[in-house]
């Protein structure tokens, strides 16, 4: 399990067994290993891991307009807790993921 944070350091999601879950545990996306990206529940680019612990949206991603299909809902994993704030860090060309 990897706890993921936005550019402001807030805990926004958990990456568990190839699935992306919000902090309440709901399945909100799937990881495409070959592309290194997450897609949302409708099959479109959601974001990617930056600097090992940030889930960010690459404004220039080549994957933004591709639909990868619907992978299904893997359910709720429950709440893993609040990991706190890891600090603000901004990355050029990236913005926060809209969950």
Domain range annotation of the chain: 1-68
What is each CA distance from 11 to 6, 22, 54, 79, in whole angstroms? Answer: 7, 9, 9, 12
CA distance 60 to 88: 21
Rounded Cα distance, 61 and 21, in Å? 22
Read off the DSSP letter of residue 60.
T
pTM: 0.90
Cα 7 from chain centroid? 12
Beta bridge partners of 11: 5
72 — pLDDT class (breaks 50, 70, 90): confident
Q: Residue 45 has what pLDDT?
A: 98
Upper half-sphere CA count for residue 16 (Cβ side, 13 Å): 17
What's the angle, vertex CA 51, arms to CA 45 and CA 57, rounded to 5?
25
Confidence of residue 81 (pLDDT cuts 50, 70, 90): confident
What is the tens place of the pLDDT at every residue in 39-54?
999 999 999 999 999 9
């Amino acid at each position: 399990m990897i706890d993921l944070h936005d550019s402001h350091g807030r805990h926004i999601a958990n990456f568990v067994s190839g699935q992306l879950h919000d902090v309440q545990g709901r399945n909100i996306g799937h990881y495409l290993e070959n592309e290194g990206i997450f897609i949302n529940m409708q099959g479109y680019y959601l974001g990617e891991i930056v600097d090992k612990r940030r889930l960010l949206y690459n404004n220039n991603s080549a994957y933004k307009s591709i639909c990868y299909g619907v992978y299904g809902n893997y359910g709720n994993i429950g709440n893993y807790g609040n990991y706190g704030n890891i600090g603000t860090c901004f990355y050029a060309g990236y913005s926060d993921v809209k969950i």
